Structure 1
Amino acid sequence: MRFLRDRLASHLLPWLRTEWLLAAFGSLAILLALADPQPLDRYQDWLQVPTLAGLMGLMIAIQGIRDSGLVQRAAIVLVTRAHSLRGLGLMLVAGAEILAMVLTNDVSLFLLVPLTVAIAGLSNLPLARMVVLEALAVNAGSMLSPIGNPQNLLLWQSSHLPFLHFVQGMAPASALASLLLLALTALWLPGGRVELDRNALDSRPLFPPLAVLSLVALASMVLMMEHGLALEGALGLLLPFALLARDSLKRIDWPLLATFAAIFAGLGHFAALPVVGAVLDRFDFGQPLTLFLGGLLGSQVISNVPATVLLLDRAHDPLALATAVNVGGFGLVVGSLANLIALRLARLPQGLRQFHRVSIPFLMVCAPLVYLTARWLA
């Protein structure tokens, strides 16, 4: 008995401290499955297999890019040309916003966070602050585009709004969030010069074959996701990487993928409970403030993609719902999956605490300003 207790203490407790999100949402999914059994196809819908497959394909490609040494070379180029920490930070934040408009918030983070980690390893750039800012940046940037994040894509396709009409409707909220974020970046980052660690400059050689394979894999994965073939794209990457870059496959953060699966299954089931629907039926989501608060608070509890699904048939204004759930991506870490991806990729000690110290006040300032601006322009 003592042997088992010691084994649990030495293995299970450290795992729980590291993978507490996986344990929490996995337990929620199992408890709901036992208490409220559902047909298999409902679990498949909740798991969002295309999204999980897309994440897996991106993780494979980005791990290959990191192992090839390409990220480190790009980091050296940026660091050696930067004049100040604040300027470098503003460039990374602006890049995160622009990329998120085109490549989606998740893809942008898979590219930028490893680059930022590499830059911080070469210089005095404050890594924790930059990763938090980049997480906020991709949420602010992706808000503008119908293809910037999953909730926008869902609302755009279901509403059949013209592309430019959607962009115009989201422009005020995205612009306001972006301006607030740039101001935060300028105030929060130190203004000193970039200091290089010369000993770390050429720490990893470039491996061109893996770099080419990984860049092709990333481009093909994005294209497959755009055409609704994420599962086929991800499975198609397994064979070449298993043959040519097996070590990269081993280094992928597979528990992160399992965490997303647990979140999708647990929160999807929770949102579909009859008691949740009964509570929501008491509210009039035709009222602008009710819809805004519903999307905002719902995102804080079950993340913005499940909140969008939950309110989709109850909201009469898709752009108002899009605004609410996108702003809801700020605040608590679960508000947007991009937040979880950023913190997990960077593996920051005390990263969750650092994120909430900034993201919650940011939400409290941004949300009322966005709502008042939207009502003024209505």
Structure 2
Amino acid sequence: MNVTRAEAAPQPSEHGGGGNGLLWVLVLVAIGFAILRPRALPDYPKLIDWQTLGALAGLLAITQGVEQSGMLQAAAQRLLARATHLRGLALMLTASAALLSALVTNDVSLFLLVPLTRVLAAQAHLPLGRLVVLEALAVNAGSALTPIGNPQNLYLWHRSGESFAGFITMMAPTVAAMLFWLFVAVWLLVPRTPIALKPSADAAPVQPRLLALSGALFIGFVVALDRHWLLAGLGVVFAAFLLFRPRVLLGIDWALLAIIALMFVDLRQLAYLPAVSALLQAWPIAEGWRAYLAAIVSSQFISNVPAAILLDRYVHDLPALAAGVSVGGFGCVLGSLANLIALRLAKVPHGLREFHRISIPFLLVCAASALLLRL
């Protein structure tokens, strides 16, 4: 590997990604709704998707366990020893993100790859924010291929009656266009330059017992989620860490969980506004390119999963709706829950600015390309 030694760069901020600023914006929006359209207090918890929130809490705890085990640091050292240049590393990370997201969902893919990318950036001079944004784009694109890749696909698949293979065939042209532009973006945004290592520090020793515990909990938690045993799975994860490694629980990004909860509260209240329903009923969005564009635009304001559920009542063109909410995951950070997760896991300063600088142009080219495929 071509390597140059350089001065150490400042470590990423622990509150990067626009994280807590977004949290306070969501708090203010929630207060505004409470004043203008008050609800009984017991109604607010009903707006939250507790299955999603609980799954994220368990995955955040397990990810902390893996990070504190030292395994990611060791894996990053081996990966950097084999990497030849920055663009090749970026292509490998984004391709892995796209492939994994089609198999194990977009969120889980980010929990595996973003912490690794952050550790890579701690050992070498890498554009961390740019790599994580590309990984977020990759999981949104790759997860669109299969019925199990993301929540909106799972919902639309069950509603459609399509076979597993039939759904993949339906989504393949849109996904191909998104992946084409993804790799064009990597080629243009990441230079083919040697990777410059930072001054080496004492490597944290790998803790095999913590790694084994985290791995076992991950497998068990995924099985519990698949069987809809959320509370039991979450109880086992937190009890195990509390008993054996309580410091792991201190590293959980509790602010991210608060952001996700408030997103559900705010965005669902927005989607339920009578003016929104009246607007959707008045617009001719039942099929074709209008349905496709309505799905993209709605996703920018209420995220693509609520957009899929909301528009399912008004849109009768499943391929257009599925393609629209998939492409709608790009653009605004609220377009997909995966975007927020990626930025919070990365902990980079000015993460929101970097994300929108790349994601908005990416949305425009992907939306136009996928639309041309439908005409």
The normalised TM-score by structure 1 is 0.91
Residue 148 in structure 1 maps to residue 149 in structure 2: yes
Please identify, of 221-230 and 356-365, the stretch whose mean Cα deviation from structure 2 is larger: 221-230
Deviation at 1:227, TM superposition (A): 2.6
1:61 alignment counterpart:
62
SS in 2 for 1:281: helix
Cα RMSD, aligned residues only = 1.8
Residue in structure 2 matched with residue 29 of structure 1 by the alignment: 30
Q: Counterparts of 2:139 and 2:360 in 1: how far apart (Å)?
A: 16
| Superposed displacement of residue 56, structure 1 | 0.5
- Give how far 1:288 is off: 1.1
Change (3 A) 1:318 1:33: farther
- Counterpart of 2:371 in structure 1 is 371
Distance in 1 (alpha carbons) for counterparts of 2:110 and 2:232: 22
Distance 1:192 1:331, change over 3 A: same
What TM-score results when the alignment is normalised by the length of structure 2? 0.92
Aligned ranges 1:1-378 → 2 under 5 Å: 19-38=20-39, 43-197=44-198, 199-200=200-201, 202-375=202-375
Whole-Å Cα distance in 1 between the matches of residues 230 and 318 of structure 2? 26
Q: Give distance in 1, aligned partners of 2:42 and 2:174.
A: 36
Question: Is contact 1:100-1:138 (8 Å) kept?
Answer: yes
Per-residue deviation, 1:129 = 1.3
Deviation of 1:43 after TM superposition, in Å, equals: 3.8
| 1:26–1:263 CA contact under 8 A, matched in 2 | no
Task: Describe the SS at the equivalent of 1:195.
Answer: strand
Q: 2:156 & 2:287 partners in 1: Cα distance?
A: 18
What do residues 345-372 of structure 1 show as CA deviations (whole Å, max 9, x unaligned)? 1111111111111110111111011011
1:262 aligned partner, one-letter code: L
Q: Is the 8 A contact 2:287 2:316 kept in 1?
A: no
Q: Which structure's relative contact order is higher, taking Cα pairs within 8 Å and 6+ residues apart?
A: 2
What is the deviation of 1:126? 1.7
Range with greater deviation from structure 2 (283-292 or 347-356): 283-292
- Structure with bigger helix share is 1
Aligned to 2:345, the other structure's residue is in SS state helix
Partner of 1:4: none
- Tell me how far 1:89 sits from its aligned partner: 0.8
> Which one-letter code corresponds to 1:129 in the other structure?
R
Q: Secondary structure at the match of 1:307?
A: helix
Q: How much identity, in percent, do the aligned residues show?
A: 46
Provide closer, same or farther for how the CA distance between residues 173 and 45 of structure 1 changes in structure 2, counting only shifts above 3 A.
farther
Asked if the contact 1:140–1:174 (Cα under 8 Å) also holds between the matched residues in 2, the reply is: yes
Asked if structure 2 preserves the Cα contact closer than 8 Å seen for 1:172 and 1:374, the reply is: no
Q: Please give the alpha-carbon distance, in whole angstroms, between the structure 2 residues aligned to 1:282 and 1:35.
A: 24
Q: Shift in Å at residue 340 of structure 1?
A: 0.8
Amino acid at match of 2:205: P
2:86–2:191 CA contact under 8 A, matched in 1: yes
Asked if the contact 2:287–2:315 (Cα under 8 Å) also holds between the matched residues in 1, the reply is no
Retained in 2: the 8 A contact 1:43–1:265? yes
How far, CA to CA, are the matches of 1:41 and 1:312 in structure 2? 27
- In structure 2, distance between residues paired with 1:26 and 1:124: 36
Following the alignment from structure 2 to structure 1, what is the Cα–Cα distance between the partners of residues 183 and 43? 42
Offset of residue 154 of structure 1: 1.0
Q: CA deviation at 1:172?
A: 0.6
- Secondary structure at the counterpart of residue 197 of structure 2: coil
Letter matched to residue 69 of structure 2: S
Structure 1 letter corresponding to 2:311 = L
Cα 1:171–1:18 shift into 2, 3 Å:
closer
